């Protein structure tokens, strides 16, 4: 199983803690040490599972908007996007549990024209206000169809580390990685009002694979 590059520090700490706890349990508890070691081993294994990088066949897209993350669609509504679009947009929000793949992918192809990191709170990620009050990043892409699409990584109650690798001027390719969020969070995508929304609330998405909307060319 391939692991993400963001796993190095977390896995190193988890390995050291697992060894220390196991040694202490064996020394003090003898045959009863398995009562401690087995639950810790499950948690240790979940750390590796969280940082997995699945193999996915990413296609070329022009009008299609691709799910940027693995997760569950929790919101589709018309909103005012005040940071970059400064007007009405359709917001599609996808919530990631700690068990989802947490690679963040470009939802559209085009050119990165805006990026900004915002410090903030750590409300639960499904809270509507988390989009504007939590720690977050905002990226905007001018698409191949001449639209401006904004998407936002949002830290949740558990997630306390957001990374994004893109810079203004970069070429965005729908489905390809641009960042990572550790341990559960949310991605918001803000689309033009005339976008055809294909997904619905409750849908389970696969990042880089599932088409969630289609823009007019």
Residues labelled as active-site residues? 185
Distance of CA 215 to the CA centre of its chain: 22
Structure tokens at 19: 């060894």
Contact 93, 193 (CB under 8 A): no
CA pair distance 43, 62, nearest whole angstrom:
41
φ, ψ for residue 18, nearest 5 deg: -60, -45
Bridge pairing between strands 64-66 and 211-214 = antiparallel
Q: What is the DSSP letter of 135?
A: S
Residues 141, 147, 149: CA angle, nearest 5 degrees = 40
Sheet holding 177-181, edge to edge: 103-105, 177-181, 162-164
């Amino acid at each position: 199983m391939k692991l993400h590059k963001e796993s190095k520090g977390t896995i190193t700490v988890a390995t050291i803690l697992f060894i220390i706890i196991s040694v202490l349990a064996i020394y003090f508890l003898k045959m009863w040490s398995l009562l401690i070691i087995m639950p810790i081993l499950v948690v240790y294994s979940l750390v590796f599972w969280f940082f997995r990088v699945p193999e996915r066949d990413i296609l070329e897209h022009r009008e299609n908007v691709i799910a940027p993350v693995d997760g569950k669609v929790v919101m589709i509504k018309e909103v005012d996007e005040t940071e970059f679009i400064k007007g009405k947009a359709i917001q599609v929000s996808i919530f990631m549990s700690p068990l989802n793949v947490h690679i963040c992918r470009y939802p559209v192809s085009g050119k990165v024209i805006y990026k900004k990191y915002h410090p903030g709170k750590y409300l639960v990620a499904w809270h509507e206000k988390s989009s504007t009050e939590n720690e977050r990043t905002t990226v905007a892409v001018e698409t191949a169809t001449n639209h401006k699409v904004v998407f936002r990584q949002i830290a949740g109650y558990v997630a306390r580390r957001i990374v994004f690798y893109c810079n203004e001027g970069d070429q965005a390719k729908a489905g390809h990685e641009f960042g990572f969020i550790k341990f559960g969070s949310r991605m918001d995508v803000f689309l033009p009002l005339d976008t055809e929304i294909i997904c619905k609330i409750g849908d389970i998405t696969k990042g880089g694979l599932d088409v969630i909307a289609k823009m007019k060319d």
